[in-house]
Chains A and B, each alone.
Chain A
């Protein structure tokens, strides 16, 4: 590749049909999401599958997925700015924009899943700095601000020379953000299936893979819709990169489970997660008090008791 390559950015073709189709489709998705949020708000959180055992349910899966993917979507820009790979530079703007969009989407789900989303102002004004959630509020808003500035540096020609420096800051910040998100789970000492330092790097690896996957999908659809072939070079590069990231996730997942499988105290929880058919109900339901004691919980609880010299073993009341 020549050293004096100059990237020429051109806007998408003026095709009203495709444009309105894209706006309409995304608008429809947003409308369905708003209806779902309204449904949950009026009927109660139990409609999401939440109960006394499953505290963070389906909405959190989407929220955390999108938040993690957001920091990963920024990777393509980072590869260009931080690691100086010029081939990726033309894609950096899309990468930054997608990162902001994904984070906004994830946070929207997260906030709407709060019991009192109307009290968001309380979360913004009252902080308990021992809470990782509180740290994350700063990490998320900081991410918006930094990626916003990063986009500005990339989009404004006069500012282009600062884009590398801001890119480095954004890269470091995104690592911190994903570490923070992973630590929400990794620091949960009460939950045996979490409670592991490996969650931070695992989340970083996951963000690399999820974010790049979404980036590739959006890029492929956009270039197809605009009749602008990507070329085998960049597609091959991105595919290989995604393969490496997926392998990294697999590596951390294997490490997590191998560590647990080695320690006898975790055998129970591993058997539960990897082999058992999950059922949150324990009893026949005739006694609602007992049915509220999850098999999973009693398992964790009794494993610890076992370790402490007690001999109780869990037994689902049938």
Chain B
């Protein structure tokens, strides 16, 4: 009896392995160009996010044109961000930064936004825990428990966060904001959860040089994972050891 069961089991396992192998090979051969966003789509509404995914971005500064602000306007439109009439207090979920090397005159233009660190200092310093990181690596602010102390803004090496100074009108339902609280790039979490890509990435691809690539860094088959594996890329302020999810090429 015992021997019989063992035999049967071993036979079954062999068949299963065979089938699994075939399926796997088929998957790999079909998937290469198609799976870029399929993992996000696989998540159903109400399903918890998982740390198997690490959303990230790769920005090729060589393709980022000096003076182009398509990503910024797309972000503002998507998230309902308007101007306060004072440039220095305007919300800046994403902004263009100009770097110039005075020794050579070399200029670089790049978009700067929340870098969605794996070890975010804003989350460490937040007294109420309003600043938090999702399992899939997206760093967000819980607008209901933010008391507006701005410690996170002080702690962020990228100056990625801004503060809402005045009462707001006409907000987008998918991007709630509120006077007296701190906000920053959400990586368009409302789009990602529906299988989409961030508005800035979309705009850059459609209207500009396609300098921004979005995807799952944890998925070795994703375009972004392949690119960062093949080409040298850099995390800004890598010396702080925060492991940002946004990487740059060409700086």
Contact = CB atoms under 8 A, between A and B. Distances in A.
A308 B238 contact: yes
7 contacts: A114-B148, A127-B129, A292-B87, A292-B92, A292-B95, A293-B97, A308-B239
B179 A131 contact: no
Interface in A269-295: 280-281, 285, 288-294
B67 to A, nearest CB: 8
B83 to A, nearest CB: 8
A161 interface: no
Given A45-B163, A128-B128, A307-B239, A291 B87 contact: yes
Interface of B: 69, 72, 83-84, 86-90, 92, 95-104, 108, 121, 123-129, 145-151, 153-157, 159, 162-166, 179-182, 236-240, 251
Query: Interface extent on A, as a size class?
Result: 35 or more
Contacts of A290: 96-98
A102 to B, nearest CB: 21
A280 B157 CA distance: 17
A49 to B, nearest CB: 10
Contacts of A50: 89, 163, 165
Contacts of A251: none
A188 B157 CA distance: 9
Contacts of A38: none
Contacts of A305: 236, 251
Nearest to A306: B101
A198 B69 CA distance: 42
B88 A51 contact: yes
Contacts of B88: 51-53, 280-281, 291-292
Given A288-B90, A292-B92, A292-B95, A115 B181 contact: yes
Interface in A101-122: 114-117, 119-120, 122
A293 B111 CA distance: 11
Contact of A188 (B84, B149, B154, B182): B154
Contacts of A293: 95, 97-98
Contact of B86 (A46, A188, A315): A46
Interface string A41-81: 00111100011110110000000000000000000000000
Instruction: Decide if the interface of chain B is mainly helix, strand, loop or mixed.
Output: loop
B238 to A, nearest CB: 7
Of listed B102, B108, B123, B151, residue having the most chain A CB within 10 A? B151
Contacts of A114: 147-149, 180
A249 to B, nearest CB: 23
Given A188-B154, A304-B237, A116 B180 contact: yes
A288 B73 CA distance: 13
A131 B125 contact: yes
Contact of A297 (B124, B159, B181, B238): B159
Contacts of B180: 114-116
A272 to B, nearest CB: 15
A292 B72 CA distance: 13
A310 interface: yes
A128 B126 contact: yes
Interface stretch (A23-31, A82-90, A132-140): A132-140
Contact of B156 (A117, A134, A190, A281): A190
A115 B124 contact: no
Contact of B121 (A190, A298, A311): A190
Contacts of B164: 115
Given A293-B98, A310-B251, A190 B151 contact: no
